[in-house]
Amino acid sequence: MSGPILALDFGGTKHSILYATDGRTGANVIKRVPAPPNATAAADCEAVFGMAHKMLGLSNPAAIGVSFGGPVDYNTGTVRLSHHVPGWENMPLQAMLEDEFHAPARVDNDANVAALGEYRFGAGQGCANLMYITISTGVGGGWILNGDIWRGQDGMAGEIGHTVVDPAGPVCLCGKRGCVERLASGPYLAGHARALLDANADPAAGALLRELAGGDLAAVDARLVAQAAAEGDALAQGVLAESAHALGVGIGNAANLVNPGRFVLGGGVTKSGEAWWHAVRAAARATALPEVLFDIVPAGLGDDAPLWGAVALAPAKTS
């Protein structure tokens, strides 16, 4: 038996709250709470808990599931830190929620929870072995193996963004060269385009991208690169193809190692158009052995994958 579920997504720019009174898949109301740049953990908790109480009224949820934008110790439900907001270090979020709402809670990081959401309700339905990858400001991933989140020995599994695909590549924030994240994430692919425009080796290439940016290189972002590429700009097409290729090699390597049946891709950069998807798929296929089969599909739940994953993460009643 499942009862009403309280699902929370602590994100980078906003937090989302879903009170799933209508079972786990029904049409339910989602409320958003902004996550201002100067937020603190305490303020975020107050805003999210307050909104949840408003939605619950006098009821209690049967269970609580939480997606958190940063590393979490799943076994204890303790946040290690937030990627976005100070003050979250070692916060016992699971215990806080259980005290506040008198229901069992589970907390995990957003990539794992989004993977679960896509598996249960999105583009991963029916495929019990999959990797979810978000390609956005960074590149993160989460595994579903045998229908469950695979967290690894210490909860660190899924870090495809920091696998090396080109040891001669540019230096990543992590210190290594040629990580998937350093080559395929939105800010880095935009930076690559800006650097090429700035070098101006071939003024004809990039003219359209430059125009779309109103001549202001600082305005070049991943979305503009994708738009220019779609409209025929050769420089933008090259940048996009190169970054998609790096991601595809990382996916092919992951396929050879773990042999999941599907890769589900979400995040802003996946909106870069068909050429991007084609390049990702071609590189992954060329990297994986011929016998290693998989498909690569767009996420089905968009930005709400973690929120719906949180619904699935909430512990089932055992009584």
Beta bridge partners of 48: none
Q: Which of residues 126 and 214 has its CB atom nearest to a copy of itself in the complex?
A: 126
| 106 belongs to the binding site for a copy of itself (CB under 8 A) | no
Residues paired with residue 297 on neighbouring β-strands, in sequence order: 264
Q: Does 171 bind a copy of itself (CB under 8 A)?
A: no
Q: Which positions ≥6 away from 115 have C-beta within 8 Å?
A: 124, 130, 131, 132, 141, 142, 143, 144, 149, 158, 264, 309
Instruction: Write down the least CB distance from residue 241 to a copy of itself, Å.
Output: 14
- Enumerate the β-bridge partners of residue 68: 10, 109
**Under rule CB under 8 A, how many of the chain's residues touch a copy of itself?**
42
Which region, judged by CB under 8 A, interacts with a copy of itself, from 57-65, 254-262, 271-279, 302-310? 254-262
In the sheet with 130-135, reading across from the earlier edge strand, the strands are 148-150, 139-145, 130-135, 262-266, 295-298
Closest contact distance (angstroms) between CB of 129 and a copy of itself is: 5
Helix (H) or strand (E) holding 148: strand 148-150
Q: Is 303 a catalytic residue?
A: no
By CB under 8 A, residue 206 contacts a copy of itself:
no
**How many beta carbons lie within 10 A of that of residue 96, not counting itself?**
16
The three-point CA angle 209-211-212 to 5° equals 65
Pick the stretch among 30-38, 114-122, 222-230, 290-298 that binds a copy of itself (CB under 8 A): 290-298
CB of 130 to a copy of itself, least distance (A): 9
Sign of CA dihedral 113, 260, 137, 166: positive
Closer Cβ to a copy of itself, 195 or 257, answer by number: 257
Binding flags for a copy of itself, 50-79, as an x/- string (CB under 8 A):
---------------------x--------
Closest separation in Å from C-beta 234 to a copy of itself? 22
Q: Is 258 in the site for a copy of itself (CB under 8 A)?
A: yes
Among 123, 213, 244, 254, binds a copy of itself (CB under 8 A): 254
Phi, then psi, of 155 in degrees rounded to 5? 75, 20
Q: Does 82 bind a copy of itself (CB under 8 A)?
A: no
Using CB under 8 A, which residues numbered 108 to 167 contact a copy of itself?
Answer: 129, 141, 143, 145, 150-160, 162-167
Exactly one of 9, 73, 108, 110 is catalytic; which is it?
110
Contact 52, 32 (CB under 8 A): no
In the complex, least distance from residue 316 CB atom to a copy of itself, rounded to whole angstroms:
20
Query: What proportions of the chain, in percent to the nearest 5, are helix, strand and coil?
Result: 40, 20, 40
Cβ proximity of 52 and 17 under 8 Å: yes
Binding of a copy of itself at residue 287 (CB under 8 A)? yes
* Cβ nearer to a copy of itself, comparing 210 with 262: 262
Dihedral angle of Cα 55, 56, 58, 60, to the nearest 10 degrees: -170
**Which residues make up the interface to a copy of itself (CB under 8 A)?**
71, 129, 141, 143, 145, 150-160, 162-168, 174, 176, 249, 252-254, 256-261, 286-287, 289, 291-294
**Catalytic residue numbers, as ranges:** 110
